[in-house]
Structure 1
């Protein structure tokens, strides 16, 4: 399976990262050893005439057919400058990081609109004034994640998200309603489970990789405090959520292993499970298999203070602060990702299934105009969450270890997460600078 948008977007959560990147398999271009593409930034400055300006725009290598041709077509239609699209195979993040230190591309995409390191080191141009009052046109949950210390450094391109698939006919036959709470989910999974069909599936690790941080949000917590000096979820409610999921995993209602991982719709398509946690990207295959007998839900609220939750990811178009054509690059980003709404719909709708970053455009994406697709887009607007910009890889790994020890190893949550809290406090102090 080739690298695709969500392989990068959902790879920041520690234990979930390994599961998500495994989707790429042995054909993953990130492990191909391909050399970095050569830089060919234009020699004109941002004050030069349009005919003398060449902008270099970078994308990672998308797995969906047609994306490369589409972005090249968008670039060719821009008349204020020549835009040279660079398709970047290999380890995009590593290649980009190196290039930003030497000869940065003018425009490039970055997960969630820019990393903490990029922002702190001044590598990203401030695009706050560029988007201006048009920020209200974009999904508010996405823009909240794209904003750091009051500034915006990336313009969202499209949105990916995760959600719960189920077959209404199976729930109806079992006499249960679509679950709106975690207790209802556990009861529904037990009711629809048969000798041949699992009740619920979220990965061959029992779901702890992909659902770990979701349990934070669904139990009513945020990852970090408002000032980002400490974690914000180490409460009895969170510990109860962990033990509730542990009990669910041990109940027999969770399918322990399937023909593919959570990010592949095959277990649901093949009828191995009645409910599956997966990605919006699987919707076309799932609808092809089950037609109208498909519906979707967010992860349900868990505990008395819980709330529905869906994780999302979005690439953002960024401008190099030290680029040779900063002003011209900003104008191009504005043209493509703020003004050209027909291209924004095409980018989200024609190559896989994704959600336009502007809610007003969702109805124009035919895959999202009705049914499960329409519901999924609304879930992001109502219940979308993303890893905090300071939820670092070290934090994710420490969290994943504690989570596994509790859910798989049976450890006491409070005791296990005391060690995590000490690690998190030290890591956040370091990240505060």
Structure 2
């Protein structure tokens, strides 16, 4: 994957807040000139742009024009949705504000009998108030990569609990090799969700109407991140951050938390000396997990022909399974959004293991109803706990109150 905006965007709360009102269907074929406009952000992998243009050209029922959007796609899309009927179709993550302000249309009727074949967690990530607003395009996830040879040399078993992870990171910190790399912030950005899930908690409560971490177990889980910082086994100040495999590929660490997209580079560097794990559980009452996210195809409610746009989305992201498979697998290591396709795309070695992690323990990385302000409050609290040793219970009480207030506004 290249630098800049790419499929890893699902890992951050994008903050795309819809502003304008709902549109109408005039009955015209797509936009005013009869063309459907389909927007993508600029993927970092070579070949993606050519592929999506080829898909559009193959659509038999309308002319489809693909617009590739380098730079700040989020802001450009926000402005476009506010101001008009273009794009008719676009990729993004569903935001509750768009739904509340009727800027996107429901897409439940597109799935038919294929619904159960889509990875359940992905559909949940595109659902607000029980209704689907985006058709997932591909799956990205993160896992814990490790070098079996280095663990064996240190007498360390692959960690399946947080205590084991803390212990392993410290014991593997030998001979100029650190135990674990989870980002130059020490894991605050990418491990907050997995730490919650490890304790059986989440960003949101089960009903989605409040914070899901108003529980003493959250403080316990985040205390383990502090223990990782204190144990001396974390690599900080690496040349590249967690999303790049450089630290692991170059032998700077025995374990790295990073993305599925890096699997080809990692196996090219280390061959069969690569293992993968989900994020460990806190204890028997918690759960192993991996974050799951995806861009989805969505339809602008102000499109000149909503039904034509929906028909195109159904054709491309529900019916054309060969395109879905190519989009996910031909330009880097990603998974198709449908379970039947995902199981065929990575069918051996660490890739097969990762497919199993996604289907058994995939968790929504950025829930549609999780507000950006709440995310900032929680991330700041976790940073102070992990990096400064701040009181976990006190920090989380403040974050809970902020999250409760922000969620209540929606």
| TM-score (ref. length: structure 1) | 0.87
User: How much does 1:128 deviate?
Assistant: 0.8
Rounded to whole Å, the distance in 1 between the matches of 2:387 and 2:316 is 47
1:82 aligned onto 2:63? yes
Match of 1:23 in 2: none
User: How much does 1:46 deviate?
Assistant: 4.2
Decide which of 233, 245, 270 is 1:265's aligned counterpart. 245
Change (3 A) 1:207 1:278: same
Show structure 1 runs of 5+ residues with no match: 15-43
1:378 aligned onto 2:335? no
1:2 aligned onto 2:3? yes
Asked if the contact 2:247/2:253 (under 8 Å) is kept, the reply is yes
Match of 1:209 in 2: 189
Show structure 2 runs of 5+ residues with no match: 16-24
Decide which of 306, 314, 328 is 2:286's aligned counterpart. 306
Match of 2:51 in 1: 70
- Summarize deviations over 1:363-392 as a string: whole Å, max 9, x none: 442xx2211112112211111112222211
Rounded to whole Å, the distance in 1 between the matches of 2:377 and 2:337 is 32
SS in 2 for 1:274: strand
Decide which of 271, 275, 298 is 2:255's aligned counterpart. 275
Change (3 A) 1:110 1:175: same
User: How much does 1:3 deviate?
Assistant: 2.5
Match of 2:140 in 1: 160
User: How much does 1:13 deviate?
Assistant: 8.3
- Summarize deviations over 1:175-218 as a string: whole Å, max 9, x none: 22211111222222233221310111111111122112221111
Residue range with higher mean Cα deviation, 288-297 or 184-193: 184-193
- Summarize deviations over 1:101-132 as a string: whole Å, max 9, x none: 22231111112xx2111111111111111213
Rounded to whole Å, the distance in 1 between the matches of 2:106 and 2:28 is 18
Mapping of 1:321-332 within 5 angstroms? 321-332=301-312
- How many residue pairs match? The answer is 397
1:142 aligned onto 2:122? yes
Match of 2:159 in 1: 179
Match of 1:29 in 2: none
Rounded to whole Å, the distance in 2 between the matches of 1:76 and 1:223 is 41
Residue range with higher mean Cα deviation, 89-98 or 222-231: 222-231
Mapping of 1:298-377 within 5 angstroms? 298-365=278-345, 368-377=346-355
Change (3 A) 1:363 1:209: closer
Rounded to whole Å, the distance in 2 between the matches of 1:415 and 1:136 is 42
Asked if the contact 1:56/1:85 (under 8 Å) is kept, the reply is yes
Rounded to whole Å, the distance in 1 between the matches of 2:355 and 2:381 is 32
Match of 1:284 in 2: 264
User: How much does 1:262 deviate?
Assistant: 0.8
User: How much does 1:45 deviate?
Assistant: 5.7
Rounded to whole Å, the distance in 1 between the matches of 2:88 and 2:236 is 47
Decide which of 78, 89, 92 is 1:110's aligned counterpart. 92
User: How much does 1:230 deviate?
Assistant: 2.1
1:241 aligned onto 2:241? no
Match of 1:12 in 2: 13
Residue range with higher mean Cα deviation, 372-381 or 152-161: 372-381
Match of 1:419 in 2: 398
Rounded to whole Å, the distance in 1 between the matches of 2:27 and 2:138 is 27
Decide which of 76, 92, 101 is 2:82's aligned counterpart. 101
Rounded to whole Å, the distance in 2 between the matches of 1:243 and 1:425 is 22
Rounded to whole Å, the distance in 2 between the matches of 1:165 and 1:48 is 49
SS in 2 for 1:250: helix
User: How much does 1:48 deviate?
Assistant: 5.3
User: How much does 1:4 deviate?
Assistant: 4.0
Asked if the contact 1:13/1:213 (under 8 Å) is kept, the reply is no
Rounded to whole Å, the distance in 2 between the matches of 1:304 and 1:212 is 19
Rounded to whole Å, the distance in 2 between the matches of 1:401 and 1:190 is 25
User: How much does 1:244 deviate?
Assistant: 2.0
- Summarize deviations over 1:51-78 as a string: whole Å, max 9, x none: x842111111111111110000001111
